Each structure stands twice: as C-alpha cells, then as structure tokens.
Structure 1
Amino acid sequence: MSEISERFETHDPGAKQVGEKLRCDACPVMCYIAEGRTGACDRYGNVDGRIVRLDPVTILEYHTETGGSSVPFAGEGEAWSGELVNTGRRFVSAIGAGTTYPDYKPAPFIVSQEVAGVDLVTVVTEGIFSYCGAKMKIDTDRFLGPETATVRAEGEAVGHVTTGEYGSQMLSLGGVNHLTGGSKAEGHVTCATLLALCNKQKVELSIDGGASVVVQAGNAPIIDGVTEKRMRVGCGSAAIGMFATQWRGLVDEVVVVDDHITGVVSEHQAGKVLGWQDTGIKVIGHRSTPGRYFKVSEPGLGWGGTTISDPLSILGEWNPKKGAHPGLSLLMVSTTGEQFAYFELDDDLRPVEKPFPERLRKSVDLIEQNCEPALCTVLFVGGAGGSLRAGVVENPVNLTRSVHGLQTYVTVGGAPVYVWPGGGITLMVDVSRVPDNAFGYVPTPALVAPLEFTLRRDDYLRLGGYADEIRTIEDVEAGGGAYFNRHERRLAPGDNPWPPLHGLRLSDPGGHGK
C-alpha cells in the first residue's frame, strides 16, 4: 500500500466537529453546518451528525435493444410491476456523486463494469469550475447588440456579444474574470446566471446598445418582448441561389433583403445562368459582386435583421436603358419569408404595391419551410485541466494525455463532450443533452459540473489509477459514496451513447494486452 493510499484510509470526510456544528470540506468555503441544515451551496448538509451529499446519485439505465433511447415498462396487456428494466447495463454518472476537493483524495466513485467483453472503468466526480462559462447560440437574424457589447444580468456584466455565425447571434458568458475578477455582486450574479442557463432555466439578459432577450436552452428566444419563430434560411445571396428556379417566369425581379448580404436575382450569377433579363434596378448599398450588396441598412429588428420597415427605402431610381419598364413586377422578401411584398412599376417607373399574387405564395412558403425553428443553445465550457485530475490518477498529466490520445472518453452527466485541441482538458457540452438540474455551484463563486472519465481497466491502472478504490456498480448501489449518500435516481439516458465504444480506443496498438 502506498503512502498516498494510507493517507486516504485515515480521511473521514466532513467529520471535524466544531461546537454543535460540522465543518464541510467539499469546497473551499468550508461551511460550518448545524444539524438538519445545509451549507451555502445547498448541496451538502448535516444529517444525523454526518456531512451528506443531499442530491441522489444518478444512475442511467440503458436498454440494449433500443440503444438507450427508451426503457419499456411492459408488453401489451401486461401491467408494469415497478421493477427496474435491463439492470444489466447501468452507468453511474457524476450527478450527485460529490467532489474530489481538496483534491488529494480519489474521485468519489471509481466503477468497473464489463461491456461488450471489455472491462471498463468509469471515474466520476463533480468538478468545481472557476474557469468556466457558457457559449450561447441564439438562432435569429435580429440585432441583439454590437459585437463586443457587454451582456448584463440584473445590471451586472456577465459576458459579451461575440462574432455572429450563419443565421445565429452568439454570446460568450461567464469566465473567470466575471466570476472572480470583478465585484462580489458581479461574481455572484454571473454564477447564478450560468447555473440557471446550464440547468435549462429561463434567464433575462440585456445587451448594452442593443436588445433585451429572454433565453432558455431548447426554447425560442424572446427579443424585446417578441418571441422569435425561425432562423433565416441563409443570407440574401444564398436564398437566391436556392430559390431562383422557383421564381423564374413568375416575376421579373426579386430582392431578398438581409442585414449582411442583400441579393438581387437579375444580377446574381444564379439569375444569369437561368437567363434572367436585366431590370434596371438600383440597390442603395455597397456592391460586392454581381447581385450581392453589403450594408443596405444598419442591423435591427426589421426586414432580414435590418432597421428597414419599408423595403423600397433601399432602392434608387430605375434605369429604363437597362430594362426598367412600366408593369415590371418585383418581389421583395426577407431571409425568413416572414416579410414579403409585391410591386409593379407605374408609368413613371415608380414601384407601386399590389395585392400579393397567389402564383408567388408557394415560393414564399418554401422559404419559410426551409427556415428552421429559432432556438437557444447553451454550451457549458470548462477547463478540467486543473487539480481534479489528481482524483483520477496520481500523476495528473497522464489523464490529459490519455484524453487527447482517445484512451479516455469524457462525458458530462452521461452526455458526450467536445474536447478542444491543445493543452489541458478544455471541454464543451450541450446542456440540453445533460439530465435536468445536473449543475450546482459553490459560493466562491464557481460552478459544479458532473464529469465522468471512462477507459479500459488495464489502461487505467497503467496510467497510475487508484486500483484499491475500484468498485463494482453493485457495490456502489449498495454502499453509496464517501459522503454516505446511498440514495439514487435512475434515468433513461435519451439519445446519449454509452458505453462509448464508438469514441473510445478499445484496440491496443501498443500490444500490451486486450
């Protein structure tokens, strides 16, 4: 037995008695907790003279035949007895497991299980993240605020607007500077905001010089009180490339209004290939390439994410020498198909709005059909390259190398993550794939996130894993963890794949055994 493991043997978590209170050592705050009360995080409490992790350990139940997407309760004509189904494939997640803090001790659960003939070990711990945040993708063409503008919650700065992506506005929230580098109020509000967003709750944000937006993972954003319905099908140029054939022969000219690139079909390459005739139209904006115009308007909440309420405001004089003539027909439409109007040129070559013709209704509907529902996506981003690795292996850098070498598969509450290249273990996970209320906090302030590391047992031992701490899943279910939590909840894992046989290197290129 090593000297390190001997020290673990003598550790009695949370047991220091101070008067009538117990000191909890599950995070740096070190709360003194009276009988029947909880610590500042509401995660640990004093129950019968012991510090107990109050939330149940979450065990995911996978059904072999359905790949984990559902757990059948009973066949036709049968009554479900209440017994657990498919108990042969279970996954102990880190939700409710407890932490490794103060990090000299092994992770709360190190669980062995044979899957598909492979002996796997899963190390689970609730990591404490000061270096963490959320990247938010908001599917909308609406103007939320200028790039780099400060994002606020309850008046406190919690992030900023970052570079927009195709059809979506992007926010970067949290991070160590907001959590710990500002005022106490800023840190606590940032932590509360991240916690709510990662637990799929609704949050109201305001953006300096921009909009107020209510966001919630998996739901449509509410921008200045208006619920967004759909994201754009593409920029104005892309819309013309997709739908030019739908308009050919039905209308003389089409303008797709967009904040970024407004498209004009008669000038666009797609129109030219289809034999579109010149119309003499003039668009007020910065001409990029034929049929593509930048900066026709400032960004806003109008047509195509512009400030425009009257689409004719972006048009100049029509040129009869280049095809303009009385009766010429014009369709103007936004990139979501939500705004559209039909015009014809009068004898003075001025566009006059006319009732919208049925022949064009199908093409506008097609734009709408191709616009996906507007949703908010929340990605938790955290650096797991710190001291929590010491709870997995005795030499922490071995875990980092194992993760990047695909020996070790990382999940958050059973959900797959993306691990960024480069040093450390910087991971990103879609919170909508994580079970509800999986994230917690400590008032340092920092977020607490469930982490699971899965790898082959022989690889784990070779990395310097804690061999004496490995337990079977049956033992975990029967005995609970270091903080005497023997409660558990069982969930179907949705569409999350486990065991991660598709992402884990099960072969042995080094030839050191199967």
Structure 2
Amino acid sequence: MNTTSGKETRVREEKIRCDACPVMCYIGEGKIGACDRYANQGGEIVRCDPLTVLDRTLEHGGEVRPFLGRDWHDGLSTDDLFVTAVGAGTTYPDYKPAPFLASREVDGADFVTVVTEAIFSYCGVKVKIDTDRHLGHEGAVIRHQGEAVGLMITSEYGSQMMSLGGVDHLTGGSKLEGRVTCDVLLRLLNREAVTLTVDGGAEVVVEAGVAPIVDGQQEARMRVGCGSATIGMFASQWQGLVDEVVVVDDHITGVVSEHQAGKVLGWPDTGIRIKGRRSTPGRYFQVAEPGLGWGGTNIDDPLSILGPWLEKKGAREGLSLLMVSTTGEHAAYFELDADLEPQAKPMPEALKPSVALIAENCEPALCTVMFMGGAGGSLRSGVTRNPVKLTDAVQAGRADVTVGGAKSFVWPGGGITLMADVTQTPKGAFGMVPTPAIVAPLEFTVSKEEYEALGGHVDSVRDVLDILQSGGAYARDSHVFGKGEDSE
C-alpha cells in the first residue's frame, strides 16, 4: 500500500485477460486461470502443459526409441512424428486458425495435421463394464456425490453399459450437477477411478482398463457366454460324467438334456423342471430376479430355480446333477435321493476340469471408457474458412480424425460425432473449463491438396520440426512420447 496525505491507497494488481475459452479469466502475474491450463507469465498468457508429440518409430525388439532428454530431432524423418492436440491450446475465439497446423511428409506424400483442444459441452462417455452382476435396471439414474451424472443403458453380451455426461447434465441442471458431472467425465477420461451409485442398484468403481469393483467386490472375469451358449460349447465335456447340467444365467439359463446340443449327442431325458419362462428347448428366461448371485441372478441357492422332478420323464434315485454359473465362479454337485430331492455331494474329481474350463474361457473383466462428442460448431473455423467442407471431408473419409493421437470412430449421418478409447490417448490428455465443459484434444489430418481444397488456413501451416523447435503462442515447450507411453 502507498500513503498519500495520511490516506492509504491500494495498489491494484495488473491482470491480463485470457481468451482461451468463453470464461475469459483475468489472470494476475504468476497465477493460473480457472481451468489450470493457462497462466500469466511475465504479462503473457502461456500454456501450462507441454505440447505432446507421439513417436511412432519402433526399433528392433519392438522397443520405442526414446527421445526425451536428448537432441532427438537430428536426422529424424517427419513421418516418425505425430503432433497431437494435447497441450496445443484452443481456437477460442474461433475466427482464428487452430493453434498448430503441422505439415509433414509421410511415405513421400505431404499431409497437414490441424490440432486444437476442442471445448465440448456436447460430450460424454460410454462405459462398458464386464460383469454378470446386476448393476441396475435399464434407465436407472447413475449418481456421484448424490448428483445425477448419467443412466444405465442396454446390457450387452457379458457386459453392462452406462451413458454418462451429455449437455443436459453439464448445462441443463443445477450448477452443482454440472460441476460434478464435469469432474466425473474428466477423471474417467484421464483414467482415474470414480465411484458411481446406481438408483436401486449397485455401487461401482469404474476406471478405464481396470476390473470393475461392484459393491466392494472386484470382478475377475466376464462370462464365457449365456447359459445356452455355455451348454453349446461344453456339452460334450460333460457327456458320460454327469446325468444333467444346468448353467444358471440371469438372461438365458441352459439345461443340457433338453438343449439341442444335448439332443445331438443323444442325451437322455432326466425329468428336470425349471422355474421360469421356457423359450426354445433347453433355454429358459427369467428364472430369477437379477442380482449379485449365481450367473447375475439374485439367488445364492441354485436349487431354488428347480421345480419337482418327474419320474415318468426319467428322474430316478442317484441321478447326478451339476449346476454351474456362466463364469465357473459358482458350481455345485447334487444327487437325487429316494424322494427325488437333490442332495448336495462333494464335487467329483472328474467334473472339476469341466468347471475350470469354463473359467479358463472367460476373458478378464475390464472397464472400457469411450469418449464421445459432437465435434461440430465453430471449432471447424480453426481448420477451414468454410466449415461444412471439413464435415463433408470427414464423412467421406478424406479427413482422418484422431483424439490425442487415438483413432476414432466417426458416426455416419450429419455432423462429426465421434468415439475414441481413452486408454489409447496419452494420460492426462483431457482438460476442462469451468463453464463447465470438457476440453478434448482433436486432430484432423488431410493431404496437402485436400487442405487447400477445403479452404484451409494455408498461410498458418508450419513444418512439424519447426513447431517442435520453436513452439507456438500457447506452447513454449514440447515433449515427445513413444507410442504407448504415458505423458506423465
């Protein structure tokens, strides 16, 4: 403070305005903006994170050639390098060219890669969770810290699906809902663990590339198939060792003596009766409610799905029964007594290998996190002066779209709606702005001729090695990572 005529006057800190996103922060010297991505350094806005460049060169033995900490660019062909948008900066305000337009030669052809960190309100993640355990009914709301962040969608073969985020959660609800949703998306996209609760269902810990934890229990494997498929695969393994096999499954429970696979093998009738809705022979729906028990049902006692055995259909004292789940996690052996009631017996040694074979054929359970976003709007102005031409080129396959270097799937139809596996991106590739919105690295790669035909910002195109040596407006430094390495 200064003193003038006995009065104290406050010296106002000089701040500069950052135009990297719609928040337009005023940032003091040495301070970082609300996004933790841009800072005021010496009166100039700088990007906090380095530009990330992937090295796609593999040497003998499949090892990645290291370039960090050495004069790595000497004698290096530009087709070895791919400039990602991680650390590049945004196009905001969108009338200007993208932060980096990298020119490189690949196999004798000239290409231009336009990189920009796109600000996404229209985005979310699709999560595939490999488990038979019931997570929640389709349409059930998914929450984090009590706030709605998504919903359960369809079950797929051995997996259950979640849809998280989206513009309605980010901007259509309360401020708290938007902030929590953005935090969940960012952590999942950057491969961190997030605990989610499903209304009327389970608590699930989700982390990309890691086995899910359902109600405190970590999954080990996904099912080999439904009960009917399991019968089809392994019926011959059981023939001659046991009189009847029931594979318990929440969706389709299989019975070997009735199943076509058993009939082809000449399997005799046993007089077994299954509670539930019979489909085709040997296939039963709705034998129990979904849950965390046998085969994704809510039962702990497999005998609860059986009705009275019919002697006239082949039931007899001493008839043997194997009941097993679709992962081999649950298995039990029974024999009928004189009253045709199943009695538990020790598992015969001859049957143990068939149960182990089911488990052996189950794949490891994982969580898969797919970034999904609509890459339309004004970000296309950073690529071309005529934005619809970029959309047309992407849909026609003339422009390749990647997310932090990861290949993306572009949905047919209008716009640029894409999906990408976050485990294929450098770790920490995604960011956020407090609007709230997700910031995702986006790269458009086209031939030089195509870029000119798009009406691209040709005057702003720079050679990739020049970019790495001199950086740009928001990226004074650059790091190079081998393919598959993390950017930590």
TM range (shorter): over 0.9
Q: Write the deviation string for residues 373-431 of structure 1: whole angstroms up to 9, x where unpaired.
A: 11000000000011101100100000000011111001011100000000000000000
Task: Give the corresponding residue for 1:507.
Answer: none
DSSP-derived class of the 2:46 partner: strand
CA RMSD of aligned residues (A): 1.7
C-alpha displacement of 1:301: 0.2
What does residue range 300-319 of structure 1 map to in structure 2 within 5 Å? 300-319=291-310
Verify the 8 A CA contact 1:414 1:493 in the aligned structure 2: no
Q: What letter corresponds to residue 476 of structure 2 in structure 1? A: R
DSSP-derived class of the 1:387 partner: helix
Alignment of 1:48 onto 2:37? no
Verify the 8 A CA contact 1:61 1:87 in the aligned structure 2: no
Q: Choose which of 72, 77, 101 in structure 2 pairs with 1:84.
A: 72
What does residue range 476-495 of structure 1 map to in structure 2 within 5 Å? 476-483=467-474, 485-494=475-484
Residues 200 and 384 of structure 1, relative CA distance in 2, 3 Å threshold: same
Q: What letter corresponds to residue 364 of structure 1 in structure 2? A: V
Q: Choose which of 325, 346, 352 in structure 2 pairs with 1:334.
A: 325
Q: TM-score, normalised by structure 1?
A: 0.90
C-alpha displacement of 1:83: 4.8
Whole-angstrom CA distance in 2 between matches of 1:493 and 1:25: 32
Task: Give the corresponding residue for 2:7.
Answer: none
Task: Give the corresponding residue for 1:237.
Answer: 228
C-alpha displacement of 1:64: 5.3
Whole-angstrom CA distance in 1 between matches of 2:60 and 2:16: 46
Verify the 8 A CA contact 1:70 1:492 in the aligned structure 2: no
Q: Choose which of 443, 448, 451 in structure 1 pairs with 2:434.
A: 443
C-alpha displacement of 1:481: 1.5
Q: What letter corresponds to residue 118 of structure 2 in structure 1? A: G
Whole-angstrom CA distance in 1 between matches of 2:468 and 2:72: 13
Q: Choose which of 93, 98, 115 in structure 1 pairs with 2:89.
A: 98
DSSP-derived class of the 2:450 partner: helix
Task: Give the corresponding residue for 1:186.
Answer: 177
Task: Give the corresponding residue for 1:71.
Answer: 64
Whole-angstrom CA distance in 1 between matches of 2:430 and 2:229: 40
Whole-angstrom CA distance in 2 between matches of 1:411 and 1:66: 27
C-alpha displacement of 1:19: 6.1
**Structure 1 residue ranges, 4+ long, deviating more than 4 angstroms after superposition:** 64-67, 80-83
Unaligned runs of 5+ in 2: 1-11
C-alpha displacement of 1:257: 0.2
Task: Give the corresponding residue for 1:7.
Answer: none
Task: Give the corresponding residue for 2:53.
Answer: 59
DSSP-derived class of the 1:417 partner: strand
Whole-angstrom CA distance in 2 between matches of 1:73 and 1:435: 16
Alignment of 1:264 onto 2:255? yes
Verify the 8 A CA contact 2:66 2:482 in the aligned structure 1: no
Equivalent pairs, count:
472
C-alpha displacement of 1:43: 0.2
Verify the 8 A CA contact 1:278 1:323 in the aligned structure 2: yes
Whole-angstrom CA distance in 1 between matches of 2:60 and 2:214: 39
Q: What letter corresponds to residue 238 of structure 1 in structure 2? A: A
Whole-angstrom CA distance in 2 between matches of 1:62 and 1:276: 56
Whole-angstrom CA distance in 1 between matches of 2:124 and 2:278: 39
Whole-angstrom CA distance in 1 between matches of 2:164 and 2:304: 37
DSSP-derived class of the 2:351 partner: helix
C-alpha displacement of 1:65: 5.1
Alignment of 1:283 onto 2:274? yes
Unaligned runs of 5+ in 1: 1-17, 75-79, 497-514
Q: What letter corresponds to residue 158 of structure 2 in structure 1? A: G
What does residue range 387-426 of structure 1 map to in structure 2 within 5 Å? 387-426=378-417
Q: Write the deviation string for residues 358-380 of structure 1: whole angstroms up to 9, x where unpaired.
A: 10111101100111111000000
Q: Choose which of 20, 24, 41 in structure 2 pairs with 1:26.
A: 20
Task: Give the corresponding residue for 1:126.
Answer: 117
C-alpha displacement of 1:293: 0.3
DSSP-derived class of the 2:389 partner: helix
C-alpha displacement of 1:82: 4.4
Task: Give the corresponding residue for 2:106.
Answer: 115
Whole-angstrom CA distance in 1 between matches of 2:262 and 2:72: 62
Whole-angstrom CA distance in 1 between matches of 2:363 and 2:110: 43
